[in-house]
Structure 1
Amino acid sequence: MTKTTLTEFIDLCVRDPFAKTLYCVDIPRFYVWNNKRWQRRKAGMRVQLHPCILEANVIWRVYTVSLNSGDLYYMRLLIHHVKGPVSFDELKTVYGVILPSFKDACREKGLLHDDAHWQHTMEEAERTRFPRAMRDLFVVLLVNCEINNPTDLWGRVKDSMSADFHHLEQRTLYDHTLLINGKHYNQALSYLQEKLVTFGKNLQQFNLPAPQNLHVHYVVRNREFLFEQQYNTDEQREFVEEKEPFLNPKQENVYGFICDCLNRDIGKLIFIDAPGGTGKTFVNNLILTKVRSSGDIALSVASSGIAATLMPGGRTAHSRFKIPLTIKDNDLCNIARNSDTAILLRNTRIIMWDECPIMRRESFEAVDRTLQDVCKNNAPFGGILTVCSDDFRQLLPVVKRGNDADVENACIKKSYLWRKFRKFELKNNMRVDEDRLMYSRFLIDAGEEKLQNNNNGEIELPKDMVLPFRRIEDSIDFTYPSFENSAELFSKNCVLVPVNESVRNINSICIRRFPGNMKEYC
C-alpha cells in the first residue's frame, strides 16, 4: 500500500502512545514528515508532562476534498474529530459499533445534525475560492447534502457568492462606490437555478428565492451550447444552395446518404476514405453548413489543431471530448452527465471527425463509451450520426517505441467499432491538372502498395520523377533560378527535406545568395 501522511499517522498511533492523544491536524506540531514516516521533532519547546516530546509552532494544511468524493470527504471530517485512530475502522466506530460508512459515523457523532459544518465549509470557501467556485460548491451542497436551512446558509454567504457580479458592474460603470445590491444577488440566483436544473431540481425546492430574470442584465448560460447555435441560418442556407451544384458524383453519393440519415434521424458510423485533393474538406464543411442551416447542432472536430482550423467551429477531439492524454482500454472521457458539454452532446445531430486515422483506437472507444453514458443510449457513439474521414495512406497513430505490429494494433481498424462503419471512397483529385494527375495517382498506388518493390523492399521512383542532382546547391538552383526580385518565386516554390539540419544548410546557402548586405539581429 502506498504510504501517505494519513496512513502513516494511523501507523504512528499504533506505535507511539503520545500520538494517540492527538488529532491528525496536530501531528506536525510534534512530528516531522521524513522519508515517508512521521518522526519526533529534535528541536522545539518541551511539552509539559512529556519531557521527551518537543513542540514547534508550525502551520499544516490538510488536503481539500470535494463533496463529490463521497466517503472520502466524510473521512476527512472524522480525522478532525477522532483522536489517535489505529485503523480506518476505528474512525467509523461509534459507541463500540463499526458503522458501514464514514458518512454514517459522521451522522452518529452528531457532525451532520445541524448546518454548522456546511456553514464552516462555505466560510472556508470564502477564504480560498472565487465566487463562481463558491456557487458551484453551494449547488453541490444543496443537491448532495442534507442542509436543514438552505435559506439561512444563503443569507450568510450571498455577498461572497455575488461578489464577481458586483465587481463587474463597478468596473463597467467606473463607480467603485457602488454597493452590492439585489440585482447582484439575483444574478447569483440565476446561476444557481441554471445549475440546479441540470440535476432536475430548482431553487423553490430548497425554499430559496426564485430569480427575477426580467431585470437581469447578465444571465449565465451554457456557453458551449450558445457557441454552437451562433450561426446565421440564412447565411448557412445560402452557402448550401451555392455549393451543392459543385459536388461531383462520388461526393454527391456521400452527401446524399448522410442527408438521408439526418432526415430519418438514424445514428450511423460513416467513414470517408479521401486522399488529399479529393474534396474531403469541401464535403465536410458542406454537411456542417447543411445541418446548421436548420438551426441544429453539428460538432466539427479533428485529430490535429491545423486540421481543426479548416472546419468552421472546429476544435481538436481532445478538447471537445475531454479525451485523457494517457489513455488505456476501458477508459472514459472526463465528461460528467450533468456538465455543459454533456448537455451539448445530447443535443448534437452530427459529429464530423477529420484526420481520424492518426488517433489511437482507445481514444475512439473512450469517446464511444462516454457518449453512450452521457446520452443514455447503447448505440455506437450514443446514437449520434458520426462521420469520420481522412486517408490511411498518410499517417497512422504514433506509438512510443512501438514496432509495426504495435502501430497496427493502435489503429482504429483494430477497434470493435470499425466493422460498424459504412465506408465511402473519394478518388477524383480536384486540385491537380492533367499534367500532375500522374503524380497524384502514383501517391495513391504507393499508399495502397500497388507499386513494385526492389530486393530491399524499397519503392523505386520512376526516372521522370527524379532529378539527376547530387549536391544540394543543384537542387536550390533548380528550385530558385534567380534571387533578384524573387518574392513570387519563393512564395510558390520550396525545397522539402526530412531533417532540420538540412533545412538550416539550405537556408544558410539561400541567405548568402540574396542581394545586399547581410545583417544579423540578436
Structure 2
Amino acid sequence: MPSSLRRLFATILVFCEPSDVRGLWDKHFDAMSEDYRRNDPSNIVAEQKVLIDIRNMLQSMGKDIKSFPLPDIDEEFDNATGVEREIFEESVIEPNKEDINLADSLNTDQKAAYEKIMSVVHGDEGGVFFVDGPGGTGKTFLYRALLATIRGQKKIAVATATSGVAASIMPGGRTAHSRFKIPLSIDDGGYCTFTKQSGTAKLLQSASLIIWDEASMTKRQAVEALDNSMRDIMSRPDLPFGGKTVVFGGDFRQVLPVVRKGSRAQIIDASLRRSYLWDCMTHLKLKRNMRAHSDPWFAEYLLRIGDGKEKANADGDIRLPDEICVPCTGKKGSDLDKLIDNVFPSLGANMSDPNYITSRAILSTRNDCVDRVNLKMINRFQGQEMLYRSFDCAVDDPHNYYPPDFLNTLTPTGLPPHLLKLKINCPIILLRNIDPANGLCNGTRLVVRGFQRNVIDAEIVLGQHAGKRIFLPRIPLCPSDDEMFPFQFKRKQFPVRLSFAMTVNKAQGQTIPNAGIYFPEPVFSHGQLYVALSRSTARKNVKILVIPDGDNKKTCSDESKKKRRHVNTYTKNIVWKEILTS
C-alpha cells in the first residue's frame, strides 16, 4: 500500500543514510502517492499530502523534513496546522469500545485504585502513585480503564512503558524513553532532552494523566530526569513532576534495571525504590484473587518463588513441579528437541497461523542459548528461505586491523546476527525503536510475510497495531555499549532477530500462553526464574528443561533414574529480599 511505502521512505531517510534523497523521491513518488491521486488527480495536491505524511512520520522519529532536500510544504494543505504534532496524535486517540465500560468491571482493589487516581485527576491537584502487584492482578486492565475514561472526557492521557512490548498493550502506548526523550546514558541529576518550547513539553503540560508501566525495571535516574524536566516546564519546582498526576506500575519480584557489570548493590541502587521520589508516591497494592484464578496452586507457588519463600534444599535450590519438567537424559540435543516438541506441537501443520506462532516461545537466560534454540527452530520451519548477510566495518580503521571476516563472527548484545536466516511466516522481534508512534518499538513482535533483496515485508502480530503491514530496510547499527570493544563497530543489517526463543529479560511484560523454559545453566539475577515461570498463567502450559551442572549430569543420566517417570528437578531461585522489603 502507498502508506506503507511512505513509511519505508521515511525510515530510509532517517536510518539508511541515502546518498541521493531527491532521486529516490522522484523515482518512487508515483507509487507513494497512488491513493491520493485516485481521489484527486491534481499532482500538486497529491505531492503536498505525501510530503505532509512523510513530515509527520519523520517528526515521530525525531527528525525534521527540512533537513532533507525535498519539495517545500504548503501549510494550507495540513489539517493539523497550529496544533503541536504530539498533542494532535494524542487527542485523536479514541477509546476502544470494549474499554469504555471497563471501570464497571474492576475488582475491589482495582476499583479503589481507580477512584483514588480519578479523584486526584478531577481535583487537578496532582499526585504520584505506584501500582504494585504481581503478574495477573490486572494492572494493565486498570490502566486501560483510566485511559478510556480520561480520553472519553476529551482530555489527554499519556501512556508509556519501559519496554516496547508492554507499551504496545496499552492504547496509544509508547516507550518511556521515546516519549520523554530520555538519554540512553544518564547520571544522577540528569534531564530529558526535550526543550521547554518543544511539542513534547506542550503535550506534558496539557496532559491530565501520565502512566508509566514496568517502572520497576527502569533506572531511577530516568524517572528522576522526567521529574526534573517536568518541574521545569511546569514552573513548579517544589512539586514532584511539577504537580501533574503520574501513575507508575510494576512488580519488584521481576528483573530489575540492567547495570552493565553491576554488583548486587549497584543494581539495587539503580532501582526506583532507591529514588528520592519513592516516599512521595501513594502506594496502591493489587492482590491476586486465588479463588478466581484458573490454577490457584500454581499462582501461590509463583508468589512463593517471587518472594523467595519457596523451600530450598541444602544447596539453596528449589524443587520444580514434576508436571512442568521435561526429564533430562543427559543428551543435550535430544532433550532440547523434546522441549521444542512440547512447546511447538504439530509445527508443520500450523506454520501459517500467526496466533499459533506468537502464542508460544522458549525463554532462556543468555543470548547464545537463545540463538541455539532459534537456529534449531528455523531449520525445522518449512517454506521459502532467505539468507541475509550483514555489512560490517570498524569505524576509523584505515589500516584494516579489524577485517570484515573477523567482524562477521561478532554478535554484540542488541544487534542482529551477521547471517540472518528467515522464512515466510517465521516470527521475528524488532531490535530498535524505528517508529514508536506506529508500533515499531524495540521488542515489537512481527511475522515475516515476504522478502526482497533489500527489504523485509512483515506484519505486526501483537498489541494495538496488530495486523499492520510494514517494510523494514537494512539500517546501520552500533552496539549500545561503547565499552564492549576497543573499536567502534558498525553493522548494516535488518534490525530483527528470530523470536521462537528470547531472553527472560526480553520477555518481561509479555503474556506467553504456551511458554517453554530452557536452562542449560541456572539463572544469574534477581527475579529471572519468577519472570520465566509467570509468563503463562497455568502450569499445564509451562514446560521447563533444566540441565544439571557438573556432578549432577551423571545422576540425571543414570539408567535407573531414566526408567522413573519423574526425576526431581531443582534449580536456583535468586531473590534479593532487600528490594522487596525496603
TM-score by length of 2: 0.48
Cα distance per residue 1:258-285 (max 9 Å; x no partner): 1111222221111111222221111101
Q: Does 1:172 align with 2:31?
A: no
CA contact (8 A) 2:293 2:299 kept: no
Work out the CA distance in 2 between the residues paired with 1:482 and 1:304: 31
Partner Cα distance (1:316, 1:431) in 2: 34
Q: 1:226 aligns to what? A: 88
Contact 1:279–1:430 (8 Å) recurs in 2 = no
Residues 38-437 of structure 1: matches in 2 within 5 Å?
Answer: 172-173=44-45, 219-232=81-94, 239=98, 241-377=100-236, 378-428=238-288, 434=294, 436-437=295-296
Distance 1:477 1:356, change over 3 A: closer
Aligned length: 312
Partner of 1:441: 300
Specify whether residues 521 and 446 from structure 1 end up closer, same or farther in structure 2 by C-alpha distance, changes over 3 A only.
same
CA–CA separation in structure 2 for the residues paired with 1:314 and 1:486: 31
Q: Which has the higher helix share?
A: 1
Aligned CA-pair RMSD = 3.5
SS for the counterpart of 2:201 is: helix
Q: Is the 8 A contact 2:290 2:296 kept in 1?
A: no
Per-residue deviation at 1:458?
A: 2.8
The farther-off stretch of 455-464 and 288-297 is 455-464
Q: CA deviation at 1:252?
A: 1.0
Write the distance in 2 (CA, Å) between the matches of 1:323 and 1:175: 35
The AA in structure 2 aligned to 1:485 is A
CA distance in 2, matches of 1:387, 1:318: 16
1:466 aligned onto 2:330: no
Give yes or no for contact 1:372–1:381 (8 Å, CA) kept in 2: yes
Counterpart of 1:401, as a letter, is: K
Deviations 1:304-361 (A, max 9, x none): 2222111111112112222122111111112322222222222211111111111111
Is the partner of 1:459 in helix, strand or coil?
A: strand
AA aligned opposite 1:366 = A
Q: 1:368 to 1:464 in 2, by over 3 A?
A: same
For the residue of structure 2 that corresponds to 1:271, the secondary structure is strand
Q: How many angstroms apart in 2 are the aligned matches of 1:393 and 1:358?
A: 10
**Matched-pair contact (CA < 8 Å) for 1:355–1:390:** yes
Could you say which residue in structure 2 is the equivalent of 1:451?
Answer: 310
Q: SS of 2:196's equivalent?
A: coil
Native 8 Å contact 1:278 1:431 kept in 2? no
The answer to which structure, 1 or 2, has the higher relative contact order (CA under 8 A, 6+ apart) is 2
C-alpha spacing 1:504/1:332, structure 2 compared with 1 (3 Å) = closer
Counterpart AA for 1:225: I
Q: Percent identity?
A: 34
Q: Paired residue for 1:83?
A: none
Distance 1:326 1:508 in 2: 33
The letter of the residue matching 1:308 is: A
Moved more, 334-343 or 288-297: 334-343
Cα 1:320/1:495, change in 2 over 3 Å: closer
Q: Deviations over 1:462-509 (max 9, x none)?
A: 444434332334434544565663557766555444445555555666
Tell me, which stretches of 5 or more residues in structure 1 are unaligned? 1-169, 177-212
Match of 1:270, SS? strand
Q: Supply the distance in 2 between the matched residues of 1:396 and 1:423 (Cα, whole angstroms).
A: 19
Instruction: State how far apart, in whole Å, the 2-side matches of 1:280 and 1:216 are.
Output: 38
**Partner Cα separation in structure 1 for residue 198 and residue 313 of structure 2:** 56
Does the CA-based 8 Å contact 2:132-2:251 persist in structure 1? yes
> Aligned equivalents of 1:175 and 1:462: distance in 2?
63
**1:110-142 per-position Cα deviation (integer Å, ceiling 9, x unaligned):** xxxxxxxxxxxxxxxxxxxxxxxxxxxxxxxxx
Q: Give the letter aligned to residue 385 of structure 1.
A: T
Preserved contact between residue 229 and residue 295 of structure 1 (Cα < 8 Å):
yes
SS at match of 2:182: coil
Q: Label 1:460 to 1:261 Cα distance change in 2 as closer, same or farther (>3 A).
A: same
Q: Determine the C-alpha separation between the residues in 1 that align with 2:386 and 2:291.
A: 40
SS in 2 for 1:485: helix
Q: Could you tell me how far apart the structure 2 residues matched to 1:459 and 1:401 are? A: 26
Q: Any idea what the Cα deviations from partners look like across 1:134-187, whole Å, max 9, x if unmatched?
A: xxxxxxxxxxxxxxxxxxxxxxxxxxxxxxxxxxxx9525899xxxxxxxxxxx
Q: Which has the higher strand share?
A: 2
CA pair 228-500 structure 1, distance change in 2 beyond 3 A: closer
Structure 1 residue aligned with 2:339: 475
Structure 1 residues 491 and 303, CA, compared in 2 at 3 Å: closer, same or farther?
closer
Partner SS state of residue 439, structure 1: helix
Distance 2:118 2:270 in 1: 31
- The Cα of 1:374 is off from its aligned counterpart by 0.6
Partner AA of 2:84 in structure 1 = N
Cα deviation digits, residues 364-393 of structure 1 (max 9, x gap)? 111111111110112101100110012111
> SS of 1:395's equivalent?
coil
Matched-pair contact (CA < 8 Å) for 2:158–2:209: yes
CA distance in 2, matches of 1:272, 1:338: 31
Q: Could you say which residue in structure 2 is the equivalent of 1:485?
A: 349
Distance apart, 1:413 and its partner CA: 0.4
The answer (yes or no) to whether the contact 1:276–1:429 under 8 Å persists in 2 is no
TM-score (norm 1): 0.53
Q: Structure 1, residues 28-87: CA drift from partner, whole Å, max 9, x if none?
A: xxxxxxxxxxxxxxxxxxxxxxxxxxxxxxxxxxxxxxxxxxxxxxxxxxxxxxxxxxxx
Label 1:473 to 1:347 Cα distance change in 2 as closer, same or farther (>3 A). Answer: closer
- Given that 2:190 and 2:225 are in contact with CA atoms closer than 8 Å, whether structure 1 keeps it comes out as yes
SS of alignment partner, residue 197 of structure 2: coil
Tell me, which stretches of 5 or more residues in structure 2 are unaligned?
1-41, 49-74, 330-334, 388-582
How has the CA–CA distance of structure 1 residues 303 and 430 changed in structure 2, closer, same or farther, with 3 Å as cutoff?
farther
Output the amino acid matched with 1:456.
D
Structure 1 position 437, deviation (Å): 2.9
Question: How far apart, CA to CA, are the structure 2 residues paired with 1:393 and 1:291?
Answer: 30
The 8 Å contact of residues 326 and 338 in structure 2, kept in 1 or not, is answered as no
Give yes or no for contact 1:279–1:429 (8 Å, CA) kept in 2: no
